[in-house]
Each structure stands twice: as structure tokens, then as C-alpha cells.
Amino acid sequence: MSFGLGHGRELDPALGVVGVGPEELLPLPDDVVQNPESGWVDPRLWFEDPSRPFEIEIGSGKGAFLVQQGAIEGGTNFLGIEWAKEFYAYAADRVRRRREGDASLTNVRLLCADASEFLRWRCPPGIVRVIHLYFSDPWPKSRHHKKRVVQDRFLADAYRALSPDGEIRIVTDHDELWAWDVAHFDRWTHGAPPDPAIAELTGGAPAYELRAFDAPQSAGESELVGSNFERKFRIEGRSFHAGVLRRKG
């Protein structure tokens, strides 16, 4: 299992400043399958003030949401997790240059990794206030559906990582992906969760409740998020789907 930290320091001027470096995220220990807690790190310690609320964005792209919301919500630490190395490098350098310009965004960092794997193997329980998932890859071909972010495994790992009343906030422009997401939401918001370990934690009660999406403060007028993808898709005339899964119990 790989966490994609494949940027040489000489090629990434943001590494260790904005980008999380290998000194901060060591390789998984050999016994992680038998002892899952051995792989945990506390990502809140990667920020200058670890006591702030902690949020994760999955698939940060070029970093528009992180830059906009991080500047407005300086009392929250944001970790953007991006698998595509070119987007990760772009977003991390964008934040780095912003810091040099006006000393802001010290509450934003980037990690080049698989976010689902990070939640599963690296993230201790109960530390994440919000998981932001905006315009994730729809993987439209049937053989690629296993690569979609929203899976039962992901919702189980997110439940463990989220704080009480924590949220997963989701926006997509893709109708078929939204239908896939909603089918998974239904399994987790009605009756016992499909994951036995989570069902035991909830006493057989639903793990989440589905709520209406409210736009973050950084979104522009008539925008849901204000990301690069959303603005591009609005020009193309696409419609959007959005919702919030609130953790229960």
C-alpha cells in the first residue's frame, strides 16, 4: 500500500513547509495489519496550532477551496489530500506563495496520498470535524467503480475518524455517481450499518443522517463550493448534487 509521497525535495519547494514530508509521515510499520493502531499519526501536529478544529479535503485539485476557505476560517486547520502529483504540487506551491506574500494560510497543508487509505490506516479515531469531498472522479466505467471514493469501507473509516456530530460534505455534477452515493448513504442512514464493527459501536442504530448542504462562507453567490471544477462546470451548464452526512452516536 502506497501513500504517494513521490516528490523529490529539490522538485517540490513546498515540501516540509506546506506539503507533508516523509519526516512527518513515516512508512507504515510491518505489523500494521495485526496492529492497526501502529500506523496512526496525529495530523493535527503538522500545524502550528494543533488545538484548532481539524478538517480534511479529499481531492484538492488546484487548491481553490483550501485557499479560499482557509483564508476566511483561520481558526481551523485544513489538510488537503490529493493523489495526482501534478495537482498536489500546484496546490502546495500556490499555498506556499500565498504565505510568502501575506503570511496567511499557515492553517493549510497538503498531502500527496490516497485519502481513503489515509483514513483507514493513518487517522486516529474522533479527530476530524469535516471531510470535504467535492467533484471527485466519477469513474464511469463499471470495472472502475471500485475506485470511487464513496464505498462502505470508506464510510466505516470516516465514521471512526470523525468527531461526534462530524460531517462528510459532498458535491458532484455526475448524475450516475450521485445515484451510487445515495445508494450507499441509504445503507448507512437506515437501520444497522453494513459494517459489523460500526454496527456494534452504534448498537445497531444508523451511523449517519443525511442533511441538506449549506455552502461554505468562501463560496460566491449562487455557488455551492466555488472550486475550479464547479466554476468550469457552471459555464458548461451542468447541474449539481450536494448533501451532508452527519455522524450520529
Residue with cell 467533484: 135
Inter-residue contact 70 to 107 (CB < 8 Å): yes
Count other C-beta atoms under 10 Å from residue 247's C-beta: 23
> Angle 152-161/175-189 helices, nearest 10 degrees?
60
Residue 106 forms beta bridges with which residues?
A: none
Among the listed residues 137, 175, 186, 195, the single catalytic one is: 137
Q: How far is CA 233 from CA 110, 132, 151, 216, in A?
A: 25, 18, 25, 18
Clarify whether 152 is annotated catalytic.
Answer: no
Cell of 236: 458548461
| Residues with Cβ within 8 Å of residue 48, at least 6 apart in sequence | 106, 107
205-219 burial: b if 16+ Cβ within 10 Å, else e: ebbbebeebebbebb
- Spatial distance between the Cα atoms of 81 and 186, rounded to a whole number of angstroms: 26
Beta strand residue intervals within the chain, DSSP E: 54-58, 77-82, 108-112, 128-134, 162-172, 208-211, 241-247
Inter-residue contact 113 to 6 (CB < 8 Å): no
Which positions are annotated as active-site residues? Answer: 137
